[in-house]
Structure 1
């Protein structure tokens, strides 16, 4: 799970979260609204599939624990990361 503190992702790998999450919610409701807007600006619809963004929006080139803080703030890039946080919180 913590490997996503470094690296990048192509927009097509998460675009469903910011445009087509569900019929009721085009944007994944677990995303921080400001972060979702930022992702939409960086990855507009029909963007070149070679475009990529940092997985960690705050400290993208540092191996640290900010990735976990990002998840707590709704700034997990992938649905799977956000779901893991939710599962972990439900165990507490």
Structure 2
């Protein structure tokens, strides 16, 4: 299995709705490492690293997010591998 890292930017109603908490929970369930961070422009940046199939599963989840969110756009790209411990909320 290949290990990859992907950085995603999620737009819509994604701040103040528990998006980062739920993303970290999903990431940990998928044995991924990384973080979810609010940005000043109202988006959330998610860095996820781990097995490619698990990263793809989290990307699919991010297209909808938790029931409290309204995702309108998801942009992502693969980046160089980063060794990160756990999945944090920043």
* TM-score, scaled to structure 2: 0.29
Whichever of the two has the greater Rg, that structure is: 1
* Higher RCO (C-alpha 8 Å, min separation 6): 2
Q: Which has the higher helix share?
A: 1
